[in-house]
Amino acid sequence: MSKLSHVNIVKIFDAKEIAGSNNDVSIYMVTEYCNQGDLEQLIFKKRGSLSEHEILNYFLQIVEGYQYLHQNGVMHRDLKPQNLLLHDGVIKIADFGMSKIKPEGLAYEENTRKVGTPFYNSLQVLRSEGYTNKCDVWALGVTLYFMLYGEVPWKIMAGLTKFNLDKIVEQVVSEGLLFPDEIDSNKRALFDLNPKVLPLLQQTRVSQETKNLLKMLLVLDEEARIDWEELFQICDSIKNKIDVGINTINENTNKRYLKRIHQSQNSQQIDLDDSKVNFIQKEQQNILEVIKELDIQQIIS
């Protein structure tokens, strides 16, 4: 694990096994420090105030980190906001306590062991059935839902206990995922959240594209669930759309300001002195700030 080196993976510098008094062994790891803590803390702190664009940006970073793990034959098996750390706005996948390494040149062994965190476990993991590294696709779907709405989709269902979690998960997904911003009065009774929290979640507005992405990740049947290669492609196209949107706006801004300067000079030759260049750059910065706050749909449509 200490050989892994990627900006979106927490760096492990050293690990030591130390034997305890009862023949048990503890593993101590020295890792890079992440100055903004974990993603769960951030979501709770900022509940409702992160834009969809910022959340998708985090999501893309997690997928980039995972792509590196995938290339190195690592299956994480405990992806969740608590195990995603933040340092200066950069996401780092952490806590490899449940991860599994693929034997070189071979496929992943069949997994049936129930590991990880129940709310983020796929049905196959919850029921100790055979599962592949698509269990991490599922966990990422629950993580994205949590980032957008501040809760996992199962926790907002009435009647949830730790003994019926698999049944609730199956019911919620097969009936079509529930989104707090689409709750009508018929469905309201299904929600079991603190009445102070629900209105907050209902204010969140998530684009149809992102809801479709959630529905692709949270597919009950492993065979039918998208695999990592497909997800990498989808993320590339999301990234391109965002980049194209920003470049187009940059280009249009440049043109608009150059035109304005041109007009103000009565069609004389454009003379871009430092103050004008600074002015243009500052305006671009302001516009980029505004873009960050915009709904992703407005940027990519």
Ligand X SMILES: Nc1ncnc2c1ncn2[C@@H]1O[C@H](COP(=O)(O)OP(=O)(O)O)[C@@H](O)[C@H]1O
Task: Please report, as ranges, the residues that interact with ligand X according to CB under 6 A.
Answer: 10, 31, 33-34, 37-38, 82-83, 85, 94-95, 97
* x/- letters, 245..274, toward Mg ion (CB under 5 A): ------------------------------
**Whole-number minimum distance, CB 40 to ligand X, in Å?**
7
143 is a contact residue toward Mg ion (CB under 5 A) = no
Q: Which is nearer to ligand X, 90 or 183 (CB)?
A: 90
Residue 34 partner contact from ligand X, Mg ion, none using kind-dependent CB cut-offs of 5 to 8 Å: ligand X
Question: Under 8 Å CB-to-CB from 65, ≥6 apart: which residues?
Answer: 6, 7, 8, 9, 91, 92, 93
**Whole-number minimum distance, CB 80 to Mg ion, in Å?**
8
What one-letter code names the amino acid at 190?
L
- What is the token pair recorded at 140? 């990422």
Q: Which is nearer to ligand X, 12 or 220 (CB)?
A: 12
Helix ranges (H only) for the chain are 39-45, 52-71, 123-126, 134-149, 165-174, 185-188, 198-203, 208-217, 228-264, 274-293, 296-300
Rounded distance between C-alpha atoms, residue 143 and residue 155, angstroms: 13
Q: Which of residues 63-92 bind Mg ion (CB under 5 A)?
A: 83
Rounded distance between C-alpha atoms, residue 192 and residue 292, angstroms: 32
The H or E element that residue 204 is part of is none
Q: Which of 38, 78, 95, 136 is catalytic?
A: 78
- What is the token pair recorded at 129? 């059935």
Q: What is the DSSP letter of 157?
A: B
**Greatest CA separation found in the chain?**
87
Helices 52-71 and 228-264 sit at what angle, rounded to 10 degrees? Answer: 130
What one-letter code names the amino acid at 153?
P
**Whole-number minimum distance, CB 298 to ligand X, in Å?**
34
Q: Which is nearer to ligand X, 97 or 130 (CB)?
A: 97
Q: Which is nearer to Mg ion, 19 or 27 (CB)?
A: 27
Residue 69 partner contact from ligand X, Mg ion, none using kind-dependent CB cut-offs of 5 to 8 Å: none
**Whole-number minimum distance, CB 289 to ligand X, in Å?**
28
**Catalytic (active site) residue 95:** no
Residue 163 partner contact from ligand X, Mg ion, none using kind-dependent CB cut-offs of 5 to 8 Å: none
**Whole-number minimum distance, CB 195 to Mg ion, in Å?**
31
Rounded distance between C-alpha atoms, residue 7 and residue 235, angstroms: 17
**Whole-number minimum distance, CB 64 to Mg ion, in Å?**
20
Q: What is the DSSP letter of 81?
A: G
Residue 94 partner contact from ligand X, Mg ion, none using kind-dependent CB cut-offs of 5 to 8 Å: ligand X
Q: Which is nearer to ligand X, 62 or 85 (CB)?
A: 85
Task: State how beta strands 84-87 and 90-93 pair.
Answer: antiparallel
Q: Which is nearer to Mg ion, 31 or 83 (CB)?
A: 83
95 is a contact residue toward Mg ion (CB under 5 A) = yes
Report the interface residues with Mg ion, using CB under 5 A: 83, 95
Q: Which residues are catalytic?
A: 78
